Chain A
Amino acid sequence: TAGITQAPTSQILAAGRSMTLRCTQDMRHNAMYWYRQDLGLGLRLIHYSNTAGTTGKGEVPDGYSVSRANTDDFPLTLASAVPSQTSVYFCASSESTGELFFGEGSRLTVL
């Protein structure tokens, strides 16, 4: 059972470069989310999508963009990476407002 698949697992990126983190789910959940997790801080919501074709901004959206062309895929793009975007990124999905199912995370280092 795959659930949510994220890629890549880890990446080192030069500042100023662009990067897309991929997220695919096979549970047919309507809602999907991107979070970043930094030491000492709670999970912070970057962007979300309540259903295919719609997206919304979370708590920390600046420097990130998302798209939701279909139910299964929810990629996160960093247009021009900066060192403060060094973090662990988690994609998650849920049915409506219920329990979140998380991917295994993508560890991104921006130098």
Chain B
Amino acid sequence: DIVVTQSPDSLAVSLGERATINCKSSQSVLYSSNNKNYLAWYQQKPGQSPNLIIKWASTRASGVPDRINGSGSGTDFTLTITSLQAEDVAVYYCQQYFTNPPWTFGQGTKVEIK
């Protein structure tokens, strides 16, 4: 099974500042035949269900603001919130869908306001 590990477990960022979350998979999730990374990011706000924000490692889902960006390839990925807003307070999860089953999630990163 592919293990997905996020860092840090939590971070506190001032409003308007950058938040960076890392995600590392134990095997490459890049499919060479289509050059796509099979990695997604989800945002779970307090008291809510998760919501897809990034697919294919870097494509924003519908309605996601452009301050939220995904990047990376192979085994190393990053979610960046360029200017943190109050509504971005949430737990963020990365998830690989390259090898399934199982679909595996990172342990989550909690983003708070400093």
A and B bind:
no
